[in-house]
Structure 1
Amino acid sequence: MTISFDGQVAIVTGSGRGLGRSYARELAARGARVAVVDLGPDAASVAGEIVQGGGIARGYEVDVTDFEAVTSMAGEIMSDWGRVDVLINNAGILRDKSFAKMDLTDFRTVVDVHLMGSVNCAKAVWQTMIDRKYGRILFTSSSSGMYGNFGQSNYGAAKAAMLGLMNVLHLEGEKHGIRVNCVTPSAATHMTEGLLKPAHEKLLTPESVAPGVAFLVSRDAPSRVIIAAGAGSFARIYVTETQGVSFPPDRLTAEAVRDSFHAISDTNGAVPLQTAFQQTDKLAALALHASASGE
């Protein structure tokens, strides 16, 4: 069955160019009315492209770090189009420097745009999604947040935060029909200019990421999923936890942890956990089992 967004309304931030533009065009081509959100005239320009192509779109020049402006935009969209079904948080910036040389103003600015910008937009549409018992929210994480990248402590920290935000909003939104996911895109855009291998740039188009994004905000989307996407290739990222090792009180020392570190790190039987307390229960159960068996 073809994925369709007929009758739906989508907000795409940072969609004046690059990845966001490709997402907005993809959803519009599949029937969505799209709010193209960005700073400056690019928002109106992309909305115009969509309209010229037969779609429905409107541009909004909004700073996602300004909660009042974001809330006002969401209210206007609700007033004019009556609903918000999809939110794609894509707006972002870079301020790369090694941690030793980084000004904390640049650190805060990047966190404000990526983390608080995503929080502001999600908060602005959250209640209406609860009320309608439907919503699809996508956060943009990054391999820098998952695995690290030199000179991107600010960006990596902000992008890693998307994982925690996704996990909690998934749990809080699940009973209301809201599904929340993350994408870690790799694409040749103005933000990656000069950073990619020339041979890869031709493959890493924003358009090659858009199909995965469309799936993650579709009616049949999963929830609490992290998809890595780039060059038409897709992979799923899992966060797992090993089975672990428990020590009785008479052997509970730093040296015991050191000497058992290989066993603690054994990935056999590692599983993704579903809640924070599941980890707590697992560790306590491990200790109880070890105590009962006399280990």
Structure 2
Amino acid sequence: MTSAAASGICAGRVVIVTGAGRGLGRAHARAYAAEGASVVVNDYGVAPDGSDEPGGPGGADGPARAVVEEIRAAGGDAVAHGGDIATPEGAASLVRAALDTYGRLDTLVNNAGFLRDRMLVNLDEDDWDAVLRVHLKGHFLPLKHAAAHWRAEAKAGRVPHACVVNTSSGAGLLGSVGQGNYSAAKAGVLGLTMVASAELAAYGVRVNAIAPAARTRMTEQTFADTMAAPEDGAFDAMAPENVSPLVVWLGSAASAGVTGRVFEAEAGRITVMEGWRPGPTADKGARWTPAEAGETARKLLTDAQPPGPVYGAR
């Protein structure tokens, strides 16, 4: 699979992309293939809220197979995987699909997810559990099984140049009104990224995260007024393909030395996000009274940077 801008930056690499049947995942899978990678395209084939829809889960005519056909038609190499990666069996079979088909695994892109938006007082436990399951557990399990393979490779003297790209969100960085479950899951992805980058460094694995903004099935209703496709010839600022070049670079050997980082990616903009750091501080050297603690906290807040606004807050 080739394109005018292709450089072969991922030639010879084997890449897994979860949730790759549509939107950002589809764009990432196609971009990796265009840069020479062999791609395992995972998608469970469900609706935007995680419910079943025709062609899924993992049906013969499901979205994963359709993306594989697109990649192959363009001269690339890909296979479909329709398993539920938020289960131990599905995640294990995903990694096996890469190893059995291509004999190796170099990059894991965790991207699968769906939305069940509710204000907190209306948020059912099932909607909480479902979103945490697919976004957070659906990151953890593929990462766990891929990391076990890479650790075994490293212990056998074959230290990999492996990469993981996790998908967070601005909602995970700042919060988003009506998305308590999604914001919590995406904030959890950031914590998981930091831990994984530290734990897996000894095995030759780098772990980073992105917080993308693009027009997908998950965002088209929420941002319908601002995410419409432009007229012919104009730059489509919200196209998911705008995010993929950074994801491809992060999943390539060219990003050596970059780990434990979070990037925002939107339109033509890339931002390195800087997370929680110590700000103004005071130390009494003894226990505070509640009144003293409150007075000190207020003084410290006057010198602190204000937090970014929560998305959707008035």
Q: With the length of structure 1 as denominator, give the TM-score of the two structures.
A: 0.86
Is contact 2:17-2:25 (8 Å) kept?
yes
Which of 170, 195, 202 is equivalent to 1:175? 202
Whose RCO is larger (CA < 8 A, sep 6+)? 2
> Secondary structure of 1:213's partner?
helix
Which structure has greater helix proportion?
1
For 1:86-141, what per-residue CA distance to the aligned partner results, in whole angstroms no more than 9, with x for missing partners? 00000000000011111101100000000111111111211222214221011111
| Alpha-carbon contact 2:8-2:34 (below 8 Å) kept | no
AA aligned to 2:122 is: K
Match of 1:70?
91
Pairing partner for 2:239 from 194, 205, 209: 205
103, 127, 131: which one pairs with 1:82?
103
* 1:240-255 alignment runs, 5 A limit: 240-249=277-286, 252-255=288-291
Query: How many Å separate the matches in 2 of 1:76 and 1:198?
Result: 40
Q: Does residue 1:234 correspond to 2:270, yes or no?
A: yes
Mapped to 1, the partners of 2:296 and 2:94 lie a distance apart of 55
Larger radius of gyration: 1
Alpha-carbon shift at residue 177 of structure 1 (Å):
1.3
CA–CA separation in structure 1 for the residues paired with 2:8 and 2:238: 23
Which of 159, 164, 172 matches 1:133?
159
In the alignment, is residue 188 of structure 1 matched against residue 225 of structure 2? no
Residue 292 of structure 1 corresponds to none
Instruction: Quickly say closer, same or farther: Cα 1:243–1:129, change in 2 above 3 A.
Output: farther
Equivalent position amino acid for 1:71 in 2? A
Aligned residue type for 1:254 = P
Looking at structure 1, the residues matched to 30 and 125 of structure 2 have their Cα atoms a distance apart, in angstroms, of: 36
| TM superposition shift of 1:195 | 1.5
Equivalent residue number for residue 280 of structure 1: none
Per-residue deviation, 1:260: 2.1
> Could you list the runs of 5+ residues in structure 2 that have no partner in the other structure?
1-5, 45-55, 57-61, 230-236, 306-314
Q: Which amino acid aligns with 1:242?
A: G
Equivalent residues in 2 for 1:10-89, closer than 5 Å? 10-39=15-44, 40=56, 41-89=62-110
Match of 1:214 in 2: 248
Name whichever of 161-170 and 196-205 sits farther off. Answer: 196-205
Name the amino acid aligned to 1:128: H
**Shift in Å, 1:193:** 1.7
Secondary structure at the aligned position of 1:260 is classed as: helix
Structure 1 distance, partners of 2:250, 2:133, is 24
Deviations 1:211-258 (A, max 9, x none): 111122221321011101111211111112215211122x62222222
Give TM-score, length-normalised by structure 2: 0.81
Relative to structure 1, is the Cα distance of residues 256 and 228 closer, same or farther in structure 2, using a 3 angstrom cutoff? same
How far has the Cα of 1:262 moved from its partner?
A: 4.7
Judge conservation of contact 2:7–2:35 (CA < 8 Å) in 1. no
Q: Which amino acid aligns with 2:37?
A: A
Provide the C-alpha distance between the structure 2 equivalents of 1:232 and 1:3, rounded to a whole number of angstroms.
22
Aligned length: 267
RMSD over aligned Cα atoms? 1.8
Deviations 1:271-294 (A, max 9, x none): xxxxxxxxxxxxxxxxxxxxxxxx
Residue in 2 that maps onto 1:164: 191
Runs of 4+ in structure 1 deviating by more than 4 angstroms, as ranges, are none
The residue type paired with residue 5 of structure 1 is C
Q: 1:140-166 CA distances to partner (integer Å, 9 max, x unpaired)?
A: 111111111111111111100011101
CA distance in 2, matches of 1:177, 1:91: 25
Amino-acid identity (%):
35
2:132 maps to which residue? 111
- Aligned equivalent of 2:59: none
Moved more, 6-15 or 202-211: 202-211
Q: Is contact 1:186–1:229 with CA below 8 Å preserved after alignment?
A: yes
